[in-house]
Structure 1
Amino acid sequence: MIKKFIIVIPARYNSSRLPGKPLIKILGIPMLIRTYQQCLKVVSRDKIFIATDDKRIQKLCDDNNMSCVMTSKKCLTGTDRIAELSKKIKASFYINIQGDEPICDTGDIKKLIKTAKKYPNRIINGYTKITDKKLFLSKHIPKVVFRNDGRLLYQSRSPIPISKKGKFTHAWRQVCIYSLPYKALKIFSKIKQKTILENIEDCELIRFLELGLEVYMIKMSNNSISVDTKKDLIKVIKNINYLSKR
């Protein structure tokens, strides 16, 4: 039976910047479990799957009653991991929540699912405005530029768009949750190595653009914090502590 949609959380142990990232504890709770708990506020447990190639992450899932699908160590990106999972679990579209989004906004997840149900054949990603120049200049933050109708023009970890005088004016960053149609995943996974621009920028959405597929951007909140560095971890802990005191 083909499902309408499922949420998939790709989880890779061997992060270059933070090894073992999914298992890093944030106030006593592993990051992956925190991400899972956010998803569980939106959909039922049977709609959430972890995709990983690591036995340590699989054990965490088994110990916490989280459905886990083992994927190949040859997967180049999280999207490749979801594409591999899609061969085992069929759905019209797959909601990709990055495993390093422990405080992913539930309102953003709901908005993405609602939009994807309306446009199930579209690749959809979120964006939010950058108001901090440090984020604009950070190589860890993927920036996006898009047409008036929301179609993605380009994505880069470099500061874009930027004036010829190097001034920061208007900019937007990617929110790392996506809707990926089954058909688009099939096309994506046929490429067995990263495409030229995808590899240069280290941004997997660019592969869709290089393959001639459209990516549609929708506005989301500014609440998410992707954990790429120890500084990001500190920000997340401060955020959780702040919310717990409200």
Structure 2
Amino acid sequence: MTSPNSASRLHVVIPARYGSTRLPAKPLIELAGVPMIVRVYRRVREALGADTQIIVATDDSRIATVLADRGIPSLITDVRHQSGTDRTAEVAQRLGWHPNDIVINVQGDEPLIPPALLKEFVNFCANDPALRMGTIASHVTERAHLHDPNVVKVVLNARGDAALFSRSAVPHFRDLAPDQWPLSGFLRHIGIYAYRREVIDILTREPVCLLEQSEKLEQLRAIWLGIPIRVMTWAEAPPHGVDTWDDVQRVTDHLLANSEGSS
């Protein structure tokens, strides 16, 4: 798929790290009979079609073998990478992608990501020739999420770019009690990113900044450096990804109930 800018092509990287404290060998956990990383790849392929380059960036030959058996392209990247962005940067460098190319980063633990969301996000990015970095947000719909540090909030500026990401409830409605804060005033971040290739290079060359270190949110490095992050607002948050064994069971139940079992 090519954007309106003829010099810019679209690539998708799905980072998949073998090690996980809570879920060892996480990408290979079977969800209704299919390894999770395979399900994520298939979702992305369903959304974006055969013309889009989609590649899994992993750190382990066991993941690469499972993917190769299913005809899914992958690259084994440095085990020392600290983030999916670092892994994506290595793929972009090794494959020689153009500095103006758009690279979408889809996390390897999002097996229920809606294809319609991905398709709309690609159009959103491709139709903005000034885009340097992009991501997605949706409105908060549950009051408990306001103070849940695992639900990252984002505040936009007048241009529709991210002004701040935080695990805290931002903005703070000073004149209202917390139980009266309007949910419509809050956006939650959905962790899918788009970058120009040159922006990935900039981000991965820079050290961790103070904001990023405090919140443990790597996208704050772009804010710190003054790189605008254009935000697409989506009607509702997609299903939560897989972080725990409870999530594994929830996703498996969903897949079986919707006839997406082993294949």
Query: Would you call these one fold, judging by a TM-score over 0.5?
Result: yes
Contact 1:198 1:204 in 2 (8 A): yes
Q: 2:196 is matched with which residue? A: 181
Q: 2:40 is matched with which residue? A: 35
Instruction: Give the Å deviation of 1:224.
Output: 3.3
Please tell me the residue identity of whatever aligns with 1:119.
D
SS at match of 1:87: helix
Q: Between 174-183 and 31-40, report the one with greater CA deviation.
A: 174-183
Contact 1:86 1:182 in 2 (8 A): yes
Percent sequence identity over aligned pairs: 29
Q: 1:202 is matched with which residue? A: 216
Contact 1:76 1:194 in 2 (8 A): no
Give the whole-Å Cα distance in 1 for the aligned partners of 2:38 and 2:229.
29
Give the whole-Å Cα distance in 2 for the aligned partners of 1:237 and 1:43.
25
Please tell me the residue identity of whatever aligns with 1:158.
S
Please tell me the residue identity of whatever aligns with 1:209.
I
SS at match of 2:201: helix
Q: 2:231 is matched with which residue? A: 217
Q: 1:19 is matched with which residue? A: 24
Match of 2:86 among 71, 80, 83: 80
Instruction: Give the Å deviation of 1:9.
Output: 0.2
Q: TM-score, normalised by structure 2?
A: 0.84
Q: What do you get for the CA RMSD once the two structures are aligned?
A: 2.1
Q: 2:4 is matched with which residue? A: none
Please tell me the residue identity of whatever aligns with 2:223.
L
Contact 1:75 1:81 in 2 (8 A): yes
Q: Between 61-70 and 161-170, report the one with greater CA deviation.
A: 161-170
Instruction: Give the Å deviation of 1:212.
Output: 1.3
**Greater C-alpha radius of gyration:** 2
Give the whole-Å Cα distance in 2 for the aligned partners of 1:158 and 1:74.
30
Contact 1:127 1:144 in 2 (8 A): yes
SS at match of 1:236: helix
Q: 1:156-171 alignment to 2 at 5 Å?
A: 156-164=166-174, 165-167=177-179, 168-170=181-183, 171=186
SS at match of 2:252: helix
1:53-89 alpha-carbon deviations (Å, 9 max, x no partner): 1222112222221111121122121111111111012
SS at match of 2:258: helix
What residue ranges of structure 1 are gaps of 5+ in the alignment?
none
Q: 2:72 is matched with which residue? A: 66
Contact 1:176 1:226 in 2 (8 A): no
Contact 2:153 2:169 in 1 (8 A): yes
Please tell me the residue identity of whatever aligns with 2:171.
P
Question: Structure 1 residues 34, 230: CA separation in 2 closer, same or farther (over 3 Å shift)?
Answer: same
SS at match of 1:109: helix
What residue ranges of structure 2 are gaps of 5+ in the alignment?
1-6
Give the whole-Å Cα distance in 1 for the aligned partners of 2:144 and 2:253.
18
Question: Structure 1 residues 244, 135: CA separation in 2 closer, same or farther (over 3 Å shift)?
Answer: farther
SS at match of 1:88: helix
Give the whole-Å Cα distance in 2 for the aligned partners of 1:176 and 1:99.
11
1:31-50 alpha-carbon deviations (Å, 9 max, x no partner): 11111110110221761100
Instruction: Give the Å deviation of 1:160.
Output: 2.8
Contact 1:162 1:169 in 2 (8 A): no
The total of aligned residue pairs comes to 243
Contact 1:51 1:81 in 2 (8 A): yes
Give the whole-Å Cα distance in 2 for the aligned partners of 1:15 and 1:161.
33
Instruction: Give the Å deviation of 1:190.
Output: 0.8
Contact 2:10 2:52 in 1 (8 A): no
Q: Between 128-137 and 232-241, report the one with greater CA deviation.
A: 232-241
